[in-house]
Amino acid sequence: MKKTYEMDMIHGPLVKNILQYAFPLMLSGILQLMFNAADVIVVGRFAGSQALAAVGSTGALCNLLINLFVGISIGTNVLVARYYGARDREGIQETINTSIITAAAGGVMLIFIGFFASRPLLAVMGTPADVIDQSVLYMRIYFAGMPFFMLYNFGAAILRSVGDTRRPLYFLIAAGIINVILNLIMVIIFQMGVAGVALATVSSQVVSCVLVMRCLTLNEGAIHLDIYNLTFNKQRMGEMLRIGLPAGFQGMVFSLSNVLIQSSVNSFGSLVMAGNTAAANIEGFVYTAMNAFYQTNLSFTSQNYGAKNKERLGKVLVCCLGIVTVVGAVIGNLVYLFGEFFLGFYTTDPQVIQYGMNRLAIIATMYFICGWMDVMVGSIRGMGYAIMPMVVSLLGACAFRVVWVLAVFPLFRTQFNLYISYPISWSLTFAAHLICYLIVRRKVYAKLDEGAV
């Protein structure tokens, strides 16, 4: 009997299926973070604090430039899951073909954007003179791998939409091992510094891309990819953009607010930058663990919406909210409790470690609120409403942080006053999303009762 990696999200025990789906997804996200963590740890321990600050200062800017296309991959996930739930094979194929073409074109576009925009944007961010040259070098090499990064992300979104979260995990394990080995070789042996870690990351992205594309081309089921007969479908592209573009735009603006905060961090000097970089990298593991349940909710809601199974929609949300609370609160507080130990992997400088602890005390311990916010968005997007959560997130989180940095932070220029803007913005945005969900649910249930979907 041939092994299947797909999952029936419409029937069966909900909590068990959610955990079975989310756990490989969680590990996959953690492995992706380890690509950057390996960069940061190796460069911090073997190339110095300036190199550590150089790599870390690019994170928010890199996310700003790529989040638009990553958001469109959310549209791929939602559409394929919806058509899979509705058993619409033609819709699945048209979405897959259009997604792969979009991923390749977007990746090529990002190469040029990253190369030409990196220095002026880093300068606008106030990146210190002793760091900016290394930051530019890292970004230009990193963006050379964007076609592979985008193809992997869109390919993994296709697999996740039908319940396959295990094989993307296997692919990232292979790529992660290669990334760590190449990091050590290029930085320690060849003394290549930030260029070495960037090249190692690009090499790992090539590996994960090749593996996911091979998986889709060899698939004999509904998500088979025929790379020799790719066709672009305007209607599917329009649907993908309608769902994914608001998510991508939201991600870009979120990153823009983080770029503004990074600029404020930069004003404290390179030691605070290094501590902030290391702490943010550690927090990323907490966020990724929680974000797995946003993606789980997105796929489960989309499939059940496509199957017109309204009774299961609310249960999916409640289960994901409960689980993400436990995951976020437990892991976030453990990260803070053992913060000095974890920060010690990134640097041996006691000042840098203390600056990192200042951030972990505020953000890591309250991160579960961000998990609530994201899970709510998963339900709303999964039911086909993309503009509403984007507007709410932009006003509740991004605009609030911008106002805070421009109006409140200058009055009390401390790390605490800068970082506290995160949990406050999460709380406000979650409350607004909850109200929006109740409105959307009423509309969706009425449509399902009428058979309009």
pLDDT of residue 202: 93
Name the token pair of 397.
Answer: 């989180």
Residue 35 binned pLDDT confidence (cut-offs 50, 70, 90): low
Range of the domain at 69: 14-450
Nearest-10 Cα torsion for 220, 226, 230, 233: 0
Residue 453 confidence (pLDDT) above 60: no
Structural domain includes residue 2: no
Residue of 118, 175, 111 lying closest to 144 (CA atoms): 111
Residue 1 belongs to a domain: no
Q: Is the pLDDT of residue 2 over 50?
A: no
Residue 340 in any domain: the answer is: yes
Nearest to 247 by CA among 103, 109, 29, 70: 70
Least confident of 272-286, 325-339, 430-444: 272-286
The predicted-structure confidence for 274-298, as pLDDT tens digits, reads as follows 888 888 888 888 998 999 999 899 9
Give the span between the Cα atoms of 223 and 303, in whole angstroms: 15
Question: What is the predicted pLDDT for the residue at 394?
Answer: 83
Q: What is the pTM of this model?
A: 0.79
Number of domains the chain is built from: 1
Q: How far apart are CA 97 and CA 232, in angstroms?
A: 6
pLDDT of 407: 87
Distance from C-alpha of 333 to C-alpha of 274, rounded to nearest angstrom: 22
On whether residue 6 sits in a domain, the answer given is: no
Lowest mean pLDDT across 21-30, 108-117, 249-258, 317-326? 249-258
Residues 6+ apart with CB under 8 A from 16: none
Report the Cα–Cα distance between both ends of the chain, in Å, rounded.
36
Encoded tokens for 75: 């549209």
- pLDDT level of residue 67 (50, 70, 90 thresholds): confident
Q: Structure tokens of 67?
A: 């989040």
| 71: in domain | yes
CA 91 to chain centre: 26
Phi, psi of 107, rounded to the nearest 5 degrees: -65, -45
Q: What share of the chain is helix, strand, coil (3-state, %, to 5)?
A: 85, 0, 15
Domain assignment of residue 9, yes or no:
no
Q: Which amino acid is at 86?
A: A
**Domain presence at residue 74:** yes
CA atoms within 13 A on the CB side of 91: 17
What's residue 273's pLDDT? 79
Contact of 38 with 281, CB cutoff 8 Å:
no
Neighbouring CB atoms inside 10 A of 188's CB total: 14
Handedness of CA 177, 178, 179, 185 (dihedral sign): positive
Asked whether residue 5 is domain-assigned, the answer is no
pLDDT at 106 > cutoff 90: yes
Tell me the per-residue pLDDT of 360-406, one tens digit each, with 9 for 90 and over: 999 999 999 999 999 999 999 989 888 888 889 888 877 888 888 88
CA angle at residue 13 from 7 to 16, to 5 degrees? 75
